[in-house]
Amino acid sequence: MAEQIEAAFGDGTALGVRIDYSRDGDALLGTAGALKRAERFFAPAALVVNGDTYIDIDLARLARVHAAARRRGAVATLTLARVPDARRYGTVEVEGDRVSAFREKTGAATAGWVNAGVYVIERDLLARVPAGQAVSLERDVFPSALRDGLPLAAFAQDESFADIGTPDDFRAFAAKREAAHVA
């Protein structure tokens, strides 16, 4: 997939932007490990968008929310989506505009806030990630930062959200979007 993306977009000149690429290499490094490898490209903060979720989001508003949260010490801002049935996800608890806890999947069909896979993270957060190791932002870095008292801001959204991480989920999402555009 990486080769296809690079072939399609090149260095970004045709789009009026500059695109730099960072690859995991032979071993997959997880979301945090891959970011650690790409750290040299970071400004003080970076927008991170996972490829296995979809959410309608105002990225400019997310950037403004993070800028305000950073002034209050936040090391990251996590976009959260409200879902009517959170049983297939871990949930995120929120107090005010901050993440207060991460909860594992419970199997209960209850509504909840879930990680939508869109973040603004401060470069300093990557100091928690050992170079060359497989590390997850979601399972390792964010929970440990919270346990250590580092503030994580919440950008809670009631916008359209979909998990598109499997072929079946992606097909269902595409069919739903197609039906919405036809109607």
User: Number of folded domains in the chain?
Assistant: 1
Residue 1 has a pLDDT of: 64
**51-84 pLDDT tens trace:** 888 998 999 999 999 999 999 999 999 999 999 9
Domain-located, residue 12: no
In this structure, what DSSP letter does residue 70 have? H
Q: Give the predicted TM-score (pTM) of the model.
A: 0.87
Residue 5 has a pLDDT of: 86
Determine the structural domain holding residue 63 and report its residue range.
Answer: 29-182
Domain-located, residue 10: no
Residue 183 has a pLDDT of: 57
The CATH number assigned to the domain holding 171 equals 3.90.550.10
In whole angstroms, give the CA distance from residue 138 to residue 98: 16
Domain-located, residue 2: no
Domain-located, residue 5: no
Mean pLDDT, the chain, integer: 91
Domain-located, residue 167: yes
Residue 60 has a pLDDT of: 95
In whole angstroms, give the CA distance from residue 146 to residue 30: 19
Domain-located, residue 22: no
**116-150 pLDDT tens trace:** 999 999 999 999 999 989 999 999 999 999 999 99
Which contiguous run of DSSP H or E holds residue 22? none
Query: What is the average per-residue pLDDT within 81-108?
Result: 91
Domain-located, residue 1: no
Domain-located, residue 19: no
80 exposed, middle or buried (CB, 10 Å; 0-12, 13-18, 19+)?
Answer: buried
- Residue 102's contacts (CB-CB under 8 Å, 6 or more residues apart) are 90, 91, 92, 93, 142, 143, 146
